[in-house]
Structure 1
Amino acid sequence: MSWIEQYRAMARYNRWMNDKIFDVVGKLDDVERKRDRGAFFRSIHGTLNHILLADRTWMGRFTGDVARFTSRDASGKAVEITSLAQELYADFADLTRERAGTDADILAWIHKIDELALSSDLTFKMRNGAVLTYPLWGLVGHFFNHQTHHRGQVTTLLTQMGIDPGVTDLFAMLRDEASAA
């Protein structure tokens, strides 16, 4: 299997898991969703916001289209990012809609790139001004790993609440895809 095939599978997994998690989390009321549970980003809602913020930051870097991946408020004004814990969307319906749109963008982008692109370097600027250069394949790997890491925190929080988030294994998605084919 090539890198690109692996990353396309990870993009599908990202959407599959986000659909599952958002379905489960959507059944919680706002108080439970936003309750500080001692996680890195305090709450389930805060963690889901962080994943979206990071995904949009990386997609802006990957595509070179920072404006497209800039979060906007209800009036359309760009949201200035000041913290990785910043809440982009207080309303869960807005967060859900924006998550689904970003997942579609990730899938579209990963199907546009090829192995040659993955073997190139990407130079980008961090929020602190540092300019870094890394191989794109490694950054894309980090991107998908980051999502999985923080979704794992969400599933832990759900489990601690007595809520079963369901099967989260990549092979379960692959099995579902094979059954549907």
Structure 2
Amino acid sequence: MDPELYRALARYNSWMTGRLYETCAELSDAQRREDRGAFFKSIHSTLNHILFADSVWMNRFTGRSYAHRGMGVDIHDDFDALRQAHLAITDEISNWVETLDVEWLAGDLTWTSSDGKRTSTRPRWLLVSHLFNHQTHHRGQITTMLSQCGLDIGVTDLPFVPEQTGAHTTKFADTPNGQSAADI
């Protein structure tokens, strides 16, 4: 696996996480906490779950400890604290992927589950891919919940991350070439 893929996905994660919190801030705290039938019930708890999973995987990848209360338990009750912690870990992920190389990605990672009941070994490239796929999955749930509240987060497609830099990337405006999300 090419580490540049993960650098692009980290830029996407930072962009989308920021946009997600900007849009979520338009809701009241009660609206963010309302049970909307999602797996983690509310927008607030789904945001907390993404942060939880990011912190668990980053601990496994880097050895750094992160505070959490376990799967399905909100890490932060306060929206602003949640936002600050989530944006901070997106920065950490972005910095960390800069250190990735082909050799590290080609190796395996062995870890024990959060509940301590099982040990697993998988290729690192697969687990790093899962980190980013998991974020995208749950952000998609949140964008659906936001849509149900009448809020549109806008274009969410990976090729249109603004300010992409790197050997094989191009800069894009928020909506490329004046296109709407329906045109993409």
TM-score bin, normalised by smaller chain: 0.7 to 0.9
What does residue 16 of structure 1 align with?
15
CA distance in 2, matches of 1:179, 1:109: 23
The alignment partner of 2:88 has SS state of helix
Ranges in structure 2 where 5+ consecutive residues have no aligned partner: 165-169, 173-184
TM-score (norm 2): 0.86
Q: Give a deviation string over 1:99-157, Cα, whole Å, max 9, x none.
A: 11101110111101211100000000002321100000000011100000000000000
Any residues of structure 2 matched to 1:120-159 within 5 Å, and which? 120-128=107-115, 129-159=117-147
What does residue 28 of structure 2 align with?
29
How far off its partner does 1:176 sit?
4.5
CA distance in 1, matches of 2:23, 2:72: 22
The alignment partner of 2:47 has SS state of helix
CA distance in 2, matches of 1:165, 1:47: 16
CA distance in 2, matches of 1:39, 1:121: 33
What does residue 37 of structure 2 align with?
38
CA distance in 2, matches of 1:95, 1:120: 33
Any residues of structure 2 matched to 1:102-113 within 5 Å, and which? 102-113=89-100
4+ runs of 1 displaced by more than 4 Å?
A: none
RMSD: 1.5
What does residue 74 of structure 1 align with?
none
Ranges in structure 1 where 5+ consecutive residues have no aligned partner: 72-78
Q: Does 1:94 align with 2:86?
A: no
The alignment partner of 2:126 has SS state of helix
How high is the sequence identity, in percent, across the aligned residues?
A: 44
Instruction: Give the AA of the match of 1:172.
Output: F
What does residue 75 of structure 1 align with?
none
Q: Give a deviation string over 1:23-82, Cα, whole Å, max 9, x none.
A: 0001111000110000000000010000000000000001122x2xx12xxxxxxx4x33
Q: Aligned residues, how many? A: 167
TM-score (norm 1): 0.88
Instruction: Give the AA of the match of 1:85.
Output: G
What does residue 59 of structure 1 align with?
58
CA distance in 2, matches of 1:3, 1:143: 16
Q: Give a deviation string over 1:4-40, Cα, whole Å, max 9, x none.
A: 1111100110000000000000111100011000000
The alignment partner of 2:151 has SS state of coil
Instruction: Give the AA of the match of 1:162.
Output: G
Any residues of structure 2 matched to 1:69-88 within 5 Å, and which? 70-71=66-67, 79=68, 81-82=69-70, 84-88=71-75
Q: Give a deviation string over 1:153-181, Cα, whole Å, max 9, x none.
A: 000001111111111000111x653337x
The alignment partner of 2:150 has SS state of coil
